[in-house]
A and B are shown apart, each in its own frame.
Chain A
């Protein structure tokens, strides 16, 4: 299983762009990179998933360099409601497991 490393916490202000980087040095060829968001006392919620280059949806962008050893989740113009824990996961194709890393606690201030 590819291990992921993320910053423990980040602070931001409303309206700013937030970039959270995840390291996954031993990512396997067939692995995908997935990000989840979790609010207190709720289940994680899927944000975005990608394999290489750039993926964008209505809430975020995911940037993956050519070597795929890291990825960056970009949240445009965050609001107070984006305060949450963000998890980076790398898919295990040898038998699917969703293994969560420590996550990044994002605090958005007014």
Chain B
């Protein structure tokens, strides 16, 4: 199984809502990532988890809250989002964290619309 599965595929939420994005992989990877991608722009790194611990937080606003319950799961909790947070949110995983020759596997993304 070489898949990274993200749910839901689409999400529409109001600015006062609380929602969560989920990501799952069963490749035994110990590094997992969240990216945000706006239309016609490259993915922007948000968070990196290494061995279930938050390793990198790229100065992301606190309305985005990541969680790594175990080595296979990664969540992104959302609350009080703004319309400009509407984007494609991508999850990725890789075998390890720290090696330059690491290949990352990406999920299909969650298309988030904040209204």
- Chain A residues in contact with chain B, CB under 8 A? 30-32, 34, 41-46, 49, 51, 87, 91-93, 95-103
21 A–B pairs (Cβ distance < 8 Å), ordered by A: A30-B100, A34-B103, A43-B4, A43-B90, A43-B106, A43-B109, A44-B43, A44-B106, A46-B105, A49-B101, A49-B103, A51-B101, A93-B99, A96-B31, A96-B48, A96-B97, A96-B102, A97-B45, A97-B48, A99-B45, A100-B42
Option from A31, A32, A46, A102 in Cβ contact (under 8 Å) with B104: A46
User: What 18 new A-B contacts, CB under 8 Å, besides A42-B109, A96-B31?
Assistant: A41-B88, A41-B109, A43-B92, A46-B104, A91-B99, A91-B101, A93-B100, A95-B56, A95-B98, A96-B48, A96-B94, A97-B48, A98-B92, A98-B94, A99-B45, A100-B43, A100-B44, A102-B42
Per the bound structure, the CA–CA distance linking A15 and B49 in Å amounts to 42
Q: Whole-angstrom distance from the CB of A58 to the nearest CB of chain B?
A: 15
B interface, over-half SS: strand
Inter-chain contact B98/A96, CB cutoff 8 Å: yes
Complex-state Cα separation, A42 to B88, whole angstroms: 9
A93 CB, nearest partner CB in chain B, Å: 4
Complex contacts, A31 vs chain B, CB 8 Å: 100
Interface: B79 (CB within 8 A): no
Cα–Cα distance between A42 and B92 once the two chains are bound (Å): 12
